[in-house]
Amino acid sequence: MLVKRPEMPEQDPEKRIHNFDEVALGYTEEQATIEANRCLQCKKPQCIKGCPVEIEIPAFIKNIAERNFEASASELKRANTLPAICGRVCPQETQCEIECTLGKKGEPIAIGRLERFAADYELEKGVQIPEIPESTVYRVAVVGSGPASLTVAADLARIGHSVTILEALHEAGGVLIYGIPEFRLPKEIVRAEVDFIKKLGVEIKLNFVVGKLRSVDELLTEYDAVFLGSGAGLPSFLGIEGENLNGVYSANEFLTRVNLMKAYQFPDYDTPIKKGKHVVVVGAGNVAMDAARCALRLGAENVTIVYRRGEEEMTARIEEIQHAKDEGVHFKLLTNPTIIHGDENNWVKTVKCIKMRLGEPDESGRARPEPIPGTEHEIPADVAVIAIGTTPNPLIPSTTSDLQTIKRNIIPTDAECRTSKKGVFAGGDVVTGSATVISAMGAGKIAARAIDQYLQSLRFAETTSTLDC
Amino acid sequence: MTYTILEREELAPEIYLLKLHAPEVASKSKPGQFIIIRIDENGERIPLTIADYNRDAGIITVVFMEIGKTTKQLAVLKSGDSLSDLVGPLGNPAHVPKNSVVVFVGGGVGITTVFPEAREFKKAGNTIISIIGARSENLLIWEDLVHSVSDKLYITTDDGTKGHHGFVTDVLTNILKEQGVDLVVAIGPVVMMRAVADVTKPFGVKTIVSLNPVMVDGTGMCGSCRVVVGGETRFTCVDGPEFDAHQVDFTLLMKRLTTYRDEEAVSLGKFMHEQDCDEKC
Ligand SMILES: Cc1cc2nc3c(=O)[nH]c(=O)nc-3n(C[C@H](O)[C@H](O)[C@H](O)COP(=O)(O)OP(=O)(O)OC[C@H]3O[C@@H](n4cnc5c(N)ncnc54)[C@H](O)[C@@H]3O)c2cc1C
Ligand code: SF4
Ligand code: FES
């Protein structure tokens, strides 16, 4: 019995920091089959418990082991509409893989890598479009086109409801298209998944800002139900001096310029970005890793992650932290920025920081970082990226009647994704605050079921009212 | 979805007007709001103020000056061509006062933003005094339109070729000395807006300006458009574009507007070179 998984073939760090091509190259058929054969096919599989969308993990792995790759992809798609994406970006190490029985003695099954393998195999072979039942009379508007929205849309379309996605940006995919960089999630993959959803009959209207072009109340006059999957797109800043200097970016701006607008191909693409030589990135989530690694690829000599807590507390996927380290990103942990200093032209010059130590746990249960007096120091920088989190945009709550929100424009829902407003459902980051692709998709699944039930209740109400007459 | 250019007009040297087919956007547009457009797949997203709209015909009008690569590229498009993306209306509509004497100050292309606002303010029963200025007579645009919605119109040119020889602020100062004014709305180059703010401040007259920082999404998602107003950071695209002039940090705005000066030069150079080639080759 092998205790180790095959290594993931990767682009060499020396080379890859000069391009935006995908870093992890994916298992070959051989590697995938070898790894799939390590799976014990447990009678009581623990892995499934860790999966937010309850993929039949042993079943799809068994298909790979038996080289039925297409069947494996179909099995995945029964539970997960976007497996090629999840296989690349889910934090499997804290979800399914952490539960895997094999993990007790050696390495757990590389569930994520196998998921990616099967999904890519299917994409390459050409995706089967499932048969769609006759269309119902109901129309659903889905706001946003991130993973939550794509999932709701696909599930509702499969039942036969007519679904329209309304997306503010000029391309569909949400964070998958504007935030996560090409080298981690090729846009071609996102486009293929979006295409699949279009083929299910979902209409996508781009350049459509809900709250401006139509309010949610107006949408409810045209559609029978509305799903809000508008994400958590409003960037937070530190609130320290110097944050409005030239060269200080929110991670959202930095990544949007690079990914959505392709600023890394400037001037062939028109959108510019400042290519810093010395870049400081504040934060240690996936967003911070992505920004740091983009900065390297734009040609930075030094990229430093500054984070006020320690190694243990970093929230990025382990693989991404490792990738960042391999590529030469410096980590200054237990360090917090206090002031950003600029030069006479208003350009960032240095980021002044102070060392921190971990004190008593705070409300979140995590050790509270405290500054250590007398440890101030300056880090030279000509670009600084603030990646300390995002919150939902106030636009929709502020233009919708009777929609309850809680702190920072979070839209609360019950377990069925129902908001306080009749006919309006929500899921993903707009409900949870910044979370993960798979949790957004999980919410999308639940919401689709709840919306379908709601639409059926409308039908019931209609039939009873006709009976009344 | 494509957004077709229905009409193109050169209003003055390097100043163009486009009428765009965008029925949904037109149906919701209000004075003071803007759109963001992207010309093609490789294009950047740029904000343009909505200079006019015709809800029945589904048309919005924008006016722009050729400055960088994107506006130069926009300037060579013809009617019948289309833009790959157009999103709006973005930003907050202008707040319309009641029973007020309002002075509108428009400079350069800003004059076209003054027009729909002045029209709306006039409709609401306000008294409208407009001051419009340009470097020279041939750059003065929409004089007739602004005239048609103003109770009184003053014209200034820097070189004295038309109207008052000097700046809009000279005329504004005189008006403020001579009569009661409830509100001043200034739209134009940042230096002009700042000068207007400086003039009105000692008179204690409320003054509104429309800001034009660098934008990307226009929906509050990136923070590229941040400005400081009253000591607080605000996002122009969602909190503005109109702000209290006496609270705006104009120096910061001007500095932030230079962020991509080098890149803009590169982009423009490349475009001009390609244009040259197209003509010669
Ligand atoms: C850089 C980055 C890296 C990440 N890396 C990972 C990772 O590796 N693994 C992981 O699991 N998670 C990761 N995440 C988190 C994950 O991407 C999000 O949790 C997930 O995308 C949330 O999905 P969503 O459907 O709720 O919304 P989003 O993906 O945020 O999509 C919301 C969409 O709604 C649109 N919208 C907003 N308001 C309106 C409106 N008024 N009208 C119309 N449209 C509107 C937006 O333009 C956007 O397209 C990352 C996030 C970022 C930013
Ligand atoms: S727990 Fe691990 S070994 Fe068991 S079925 Fe799941 S993936 Fe296979
Ligand atoms: S333009 Fe992005 S937040 Fe205003």
pLDDT in tens, A180-206: 999 999 999 999 999 989 999 999 999
Nearest C-alpha neighbor of A452 from the set A55, A160, A219: A160
What atom in ligand 3 is closest to the CA of residue B225?
4
Can you say whether the dihedral through the CA atoms of B11, B13, B15, B17 is positive or negative? positive
Q: Give the pLDDT confidence score for residue B2 in this predicted structure.
A: 78
Total structural domains within chain B: 2
Range of the domain at B155: 101-256
pLDDT in tens, A360-369: 888 877 788 9
Confidence of residue B269 (pLDDT cuts 50, 70, 90): confident
Q: Give the pLDDT confidence score for residue B281 in this predicted structure.
A: 62
Instruction: Give a yes or no: residue B281 inside a domain.
Output: no
Q: Give the pLDDT confidence score for residue A148 in this predicted structure.
A: 97
Distance CA A368, CA A394 (A): 29
CA B30 – ligand 2 centroid, Å = 59
Cis ω for the linkage preceding B241 (within 30 of 0): yes
Confidence of residue A1 (pLDDT cuts 50, 70, 90): low
What atom in ligand 3 is closest to the CA of residue B214?
1
CATH code (residue B156): 3.40.50.80
pLDDT in tens, A139-178: 999 999 999 999 999 999 999 999 999 999 999 999 999 9
Query: How big is chain A, counted in residues?
Result: 469
- Give the strands of the sheet with B85-90, arranged side by side: B46-49, B34-38, B85-90
Q: Give the pLDDT confidence score for residue A289 in this predicted structure.
A: 97
Beta bridge partners of A354: A336
Per the CB < 8 Å rule, is B42 touching A268? Answer: yes
In the structure encoding, which two tokens stand for residue A165, read together? 């996605």
CATH fold of A139-233+392-468 = FAD/NAD(P)-binding domain (3.50.50)
Q: Give the pLDDT confidence score for residue A134 in this predicted structure.
A: 84
Residue B225 annotated in ligand binding: yes
B92 in contact with A, Cβ within 8 Å: no
Nearest C-alpha neighbor of A141 from the set A54, A231, A202: A202
Name the 3-class secondary structure at A63: helix
User: Is B115 in the same domain as B158?
Assistant: yes
Residue A467 has pLDDT above 60, yes or no: no
Q: Give the pLDDT confidence score for residue A462 in this predicted structure.
A: 72
B55 in contact with A, Cβ within 8 Å: no
Task: Tally C-beta pairs within 8 A across A and B.
Answer: 114
Q: Give the pLDDT confidence score for residue A268 in this predicted structure.
A: 94
Instruction: Give a yes or no: residue B277 inside a domain.
Output: no
Beta bridge partners of A353: A337, A377
pLDDT in tens, A367-417: 889 999 999 999 999 999 999 999 999 999 999 999 999 988 999 999 999
CA A5 – ligand 2 centroid, Å = 13
Residue B277 annotated in ligand binding: no
The model scores a pTM over 0.90: yes
Per the CB < 8 Å rule, is A256 touching B217? Answer: yes
Identify the CATH homologous superfamily for domain A238-389.
FAD/NAD(P)-binding domain (3.50.50.60)
Distance CA A339, CA A282 (A): 12
User: Is B110 in the same domain as B213?
Assistant: yes
pLDDT in tens, B206-246: 999 999 999 999 999 999 999 999 999 999 999 999 999 99
Say which DSSP state B248 is in: B
The residues near A439 (Cβ < 8 Å, ≥ 6 apart) are: A52, A428, A432
The residues near A209 (Cβ < 8 Å, ≥ 6 apart) are: A168, A395, B87, B88, B90, B219
Instruction: Give a yes or no: residue B280 inside a domain.
Output: no
pLDDT in tens, A82-113: 999 999 999 898 999 999 999 988 899 999 99
Per the CB < 8 Å rule, is A205 touching B25? Answer: no
What atom in ligand 1 is closest to the CA of residue A432?
26
What is the second-level CATH architecture of the domain A13-125? Orthogonal Bundle (1.10)
Q: Encode burial over A46-79: b for 16+ CB neighbours within 10 A, e otherwise.
A: bbbebbbbebbbbbbbbbbbeeebebbbbbbbeb
Confidence of residue A118 (pLDDT cuts 50, 70, 90): very high
The fraction of chain A above a pLDDT of 90, given in percent, is: 86
User: Is B197 in the same domain as B141?
Assistant: yes
Q: Which residue of A has its CA nearest to B45?
A: A271
Per the CB < 8 Å rule, is B1 touching A274? Answer: no
Nearest C-alpha neighbor of B75 from the set B25, B2, B159, B18: B18
Distance CA A450, CA A225 (A): 11
pLDDT in tens, B226-236: 999 999 999 99
Q: Which residue of B has its CA nearest to A343?
A: B255
Burial of A134 (0-12, 13-18, 19+ CB in 10 A): exposed
